[in-house]
């Protein structure tokens, strides 16, 4: 009789079970692989979306100024200390980086052929002044025999830049060595220009004109720090959305990195472009860089408290793209942030951060990089294209 014995049947069942379990385990592993692969794939898709969003922002500056939406163009005006719009360029107003400027004015002449815009690498000629700041300081009229001639040009340019474009625009526009020459002051300070400071002139009034000097704002620029005189930025200037490096003790050695556009004769500071409302990170209100030559709005920071100031400002300085969701609920969540800063090392640095949080796996990936893109002047020109609305910006 042909039939299976019980033993044969049991053996066959056992073998079958082994095969079935092996197959099941294999399919389970394969299934997990697929799920993992799809998870990674979704994350990659989201990261790619973040990358292109970031690059788009680096090139076109929508976070600072929306050419298609008037409500996103609030940085095209100037403001007073109460936050009310005032005519662009008003003295002691708060300039903004997309405000109008009159290029036909000779003081806006940044023509490539105008040698006043070039660097001169001379040394400041004052025996007690051991910072060598280049001949821009001479253009800045320190001890200059002709305070009303060419030497005044740089100061006027900077006054107008600052009043019109604000701190961030000012830094972004200027060739590297100018700022120092600016704060070192004019030879003749205009009496009455700022009633908050004493009226002084360089010649004749200072008890020791070699050691006590006055900056462009009429303030004393000799500042005892680290046991020696230091030529510091005016405090108001210094406290304006700036970040002192943690190594503050060595800050007075701050070198510039004057390679190409890099390098401003600044003093261990960082300043950032403020995004427009709706693009601010973490839901923080937009933190506009609102400082004039005389005052700062909402910056009740103790003297030399710059290190602690930056964290409070940072979240309001970082543009977070508001509409970057690319998938349904449950997909990886994308956050893209863009921060534009200038500091002693680099003018116009853009830092991008992409954060992807996967609710399925619970993992978070954070990628930071420094994209190359348009500078402020390039972005201003873009807004004057006809198909971008032909804004009146550099006329």
Partner 1 sequence: MSTACSPAARRGALLIIVTGLATLLLALSLAFLATMRSDGDRTREIVRDTQARIMLNAAISYVLETSRIGWGDSETQGWNDIRNHAVGPIPLNRNPEAGSLTQPSNAVWAASPSSWPAPGTAMRTAMAVWTRPPVAVRAGSRNPIRIGPGLPIQDDVDETRILLAGLHGDVGSYRSVSEVWRAGSYDRPDPEAVVDPRISAAAAAQFVAGDQRPRAGTAGRSWFRVYRETAADHNGDRDPYYDVINLNGGRGIDANGADRPYPPNASVFVVTCGAGATLGFRRWTEVVAAGAQQSFLNQQTYFDQLRGTEIILWYRIEWSPQAGDYGPMGRRKAYPRPNHSYFPIWNQISAMPSQAGSILWTQRLDREPPAW
Residue ranges in 9-68 that form contacts with partner 1 under rule CB under 8 A? 23, 27, 30-31, 33-34, 37-38, 40-41, 44-45, 48, 51-52, 55, 59-60
Nearer to partner 1, 82 or 113 (CB): 113
Number of residues assigned to the chain: 395
Using CB under 8 A, which of 209, 278, 294, 371 touches partner 1?
Answer: 371
Contact status: 325 vs partner 1 (CB under 8 A): no
Give the span between the Cα atoms of 189 and 217, in whole angstroms.
Answer: 8
Using CB under 8 A, which of 80, 86, 92, 117 touches partner 1?
Answer: 117
Nearer to partner 1, 174 or 314 (CB): 174
Contact status: 145 vs partner 1 (CB under 8 A): no
Nearer to partner 1, 155 or 265 (CB): 265
Give the span between the Cα atoms of 330 and 18, in whole angstroms.
Answer: 37
Tokens 């996103």 belong to residue: 72
> Taking CB under 8 A as the criterion, which residues in 157-176 touch partner 1?
175-176
Beta-sheet pairing, 78-79 with 85-86: antiparallel
Give the span between the Cα atoms of 386 and 381, in whole angstroms.
Answer: 11
Contact status: 263 vs partner 1 (CB under 8 A): yes
Question: With contact defined as beta carbons under 8 Å apart, do 233 and 220 qualify?
Answer: no
Binding residue count for partner 1, defined by CB under 8 A: 75
Q: Which helix (H) or strand (E) holds 85?
A: strand 85-86
Nearer to partner 1, 307 or 367 (CB): 367
> Taking CB under 8 A as the criterion, which residues in 210-249 touch partner 1?
none
Residue 80 CB neighbour total at 10 angstroms: 16
Question: With contact defined as beta carbons under 8 Å apart, do 340 and 332 qualify?
Answer: no
* Three-state SS at 379: helix
In the complex, minimum distance from the CB of residue 45 to partner 1, in angstroms, rounded to a whole number = 7
Using CB under 8 A, which of 145, 207, 246, 260 touches partner 1?
Answer: 260
């Amino acid at each position: 009789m042909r039939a299976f014995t019980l033993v044969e049947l049991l053996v066959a069942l056992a073998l079958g079970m082994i095969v079935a379990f092996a197959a099941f385990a294999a399919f389970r592993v394969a299934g997990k692989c697929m799920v993992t692969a799809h998870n990674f794939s979704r994350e990659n898709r989201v990261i790619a979306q973040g990358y292109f969003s970031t690059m788009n922002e680096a090139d076109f500056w929508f976070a600072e100024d929306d050419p298609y939406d008037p409500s996103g163009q609030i940085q095209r005006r100037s403001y007073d200390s109460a936050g009310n719009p005032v005519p662009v360029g008003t003295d002691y107003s708060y300039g903004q980086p997309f405000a109008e400027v009159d290029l036909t004015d000779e003081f806006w002449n940044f023509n490539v052929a105008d040698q006043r815009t070039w660097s001169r690498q001379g040394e400041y000629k004052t025996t007690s002044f051991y910072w060598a700041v280049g001949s821009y300081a001479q253009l800045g009229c320190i001890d200059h025999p002709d305070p009303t001639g060419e030497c005044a040009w740089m100061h006027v340019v900077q006054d107008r830049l600052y009043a019109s474009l604000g701190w961030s625009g000012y830094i972004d526009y200027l060739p590297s060595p100018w700022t120092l020459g600016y704060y070192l002051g004019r030879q003749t300070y205009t009496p009455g220009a700022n009633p908050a400071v004493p009226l002084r002139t360089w010649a004749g009034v200072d008890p020791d004109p070699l050691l006590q000097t006055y900056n462009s704002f009429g303030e004393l620029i000799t500042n005892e720090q680290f046991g020696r005189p230091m030529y510091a930025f005016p405090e108001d200037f210094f406290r304006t959305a700036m970040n002192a490096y943690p190594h503050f003790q060595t800050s007075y050695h701050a070198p510039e990195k004057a390679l190409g556009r890099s390098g401003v004769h600044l003093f261990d500071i960082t300043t950032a472009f403020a995004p427009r409302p709706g693009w601010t990170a973490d839901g923080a209100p937009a933190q506009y860089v609102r400082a004039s030559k005389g005052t700062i709005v909402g910056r009740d920071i103790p003297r030399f408290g710059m290190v602690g100031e930056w964290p409070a400002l940072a979240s309001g300085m970082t543009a977070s793209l508001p509409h970057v969701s690319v998938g349904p609920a449950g997909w990886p969540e994308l956050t893209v942030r863009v921060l534009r800063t200038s500091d002693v090392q680099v003018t116009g640095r853009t830092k991008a951060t992409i954060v992807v949080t996967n609710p399925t796996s619970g993992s978070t990936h954070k990628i930071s990089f420094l994209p190359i893109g348009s500078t402020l002047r390039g972005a201003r020109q873009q807004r004057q294209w006809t198909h971008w609305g032909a804004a009146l910006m550099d006329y």
